[in-house]
Amino acid sequence: MPSVPKPAAAYPATRLRRPRAHAWSRALFAEVALSPADFIWPLFVTEGAGERTPVPTMPGVDRLSVDLIAQAAKEAESLGIPCIALFPSTPPERRTADGREALNPDNLTCRAIKAIKAAAPGIGVLTDVALDPYTTHGHDGLLSEDGRILNDETIEMLQGQALVQARAGADIIAPSDMMDGRVAAIRKVLEAGNFHDVQIMSYAAKYASAFYGPFRDAVGSGGYLKGDKKTYQMDPANADEALREVALDIAEGADSVMVKPGMPYLDVIARVKDAFNIPVFAYQVSGEYAMLETAARAGLIERDRMIIEALTAFRRAGCSGVLTYYARDAARLLG
């Protein structure tokens, strides 16, 4: 950690409260600025039309049908939010052990991409690449007969998934599976398919966290998950390992990297930014959101101030942007 410099002069010549005395001065001296352009808004896609289904474990968050996703994208664009992230709630009848619905060019994600591009062509679309929304076992990859995650076989599926999303109009492919070598493999097929401008935002440091529970409810995979994901997601005890993961993904062609979860891993965000000076994003995940929102609704914390303070913390740690379920609310507050 860098040492804290001693002030040039002691009290009373130096009074650090001076710049805090007025709102204009606090704004002038602020080290980090927060704006709607810093947010990526995660949205959950469901089948149907005019369908808005609340996620019980995430107060204030709904699953939206494709037509309502398009409306949300238009709202995001009007608020200055630059990017939408899509996560499908795949119907049970379309889930299989091999997750082949991920390769369907007419799946929920692909239809939502096209609807967003038609409604709000100026907004970016980020898509998740992993098999857990499509499998009957809830894992991000293919399983062997004895229950092991098959790394290399999974990568072939992820390549196909990335291609169908790029063909549908995705701007950022975001592999969240944590298979070794998947960034290079996805970059290879994107280049071969002439998708030279499609970005890869790698979930480079994705931890095997207890904070994902509400998300799994939202995409309908929680009840399917057999076992845990500790053989491919990172150990929460490790930070040096995160730097190795990030270094590999950069070398394989990632344009930006993500740390997930967010607030419990601010130290990892700061270390990644200091080490690589690459665009770093954080995901303020479902468990973080649910805790904060539940506390706010119980009157335990001041909601508006909490939202801005929490998101500012990510920027202070070194984030270029944040995936947050508070994107719309924060954009309105910053309005």
Question: How many CA atoms, within 13 angstroms, populate the side-chain half-sphere of residue 152?
Answer: 0
Catalytic machinery residues? 206, 260
Q: Beta strand 62-65 with 52-54: parallel, antiparallel or unpaired?
A: antiparallel
Helix or strand holding residue 43 (H, E): strand 39-46
Q: Which two tokens stand for residue 320?
A: 């270029």
Q: Beta strand 199-206 with 52-54: parallel, antiparallel or unpaired?
A: unpaired
205 phi/psi in degrees, rounded to 5:
-120, 85
Distance CA 212, CA 230 (A): 13
b (16+ CB within 10 A) / e for 228-254: ebeebbbebeeeeebbebbebbbebbb
191 annotated as belonging to a binding site for a ligand: no
> Which DSSP category does 235 fall into?
P
Distance CA 257, CA 245 (A): 10
The CA-based dihedral angle spanning residues 30, 32, 35, 38, taken in that order and rounded to the nearest 10 degrees: 180
Q: How far is CA 120 from the centre of its chain?
A: 20
- What residue has token string 């995409």? 219
Helix or strand holding residue 54 (H, E): strand 52-54
Nearest Cα neighbor of 89 from 73, 69, 65 is: 65
Distance CA 132, CA 123 (A): 26
> Which DSSP category does 283 fall into?
E
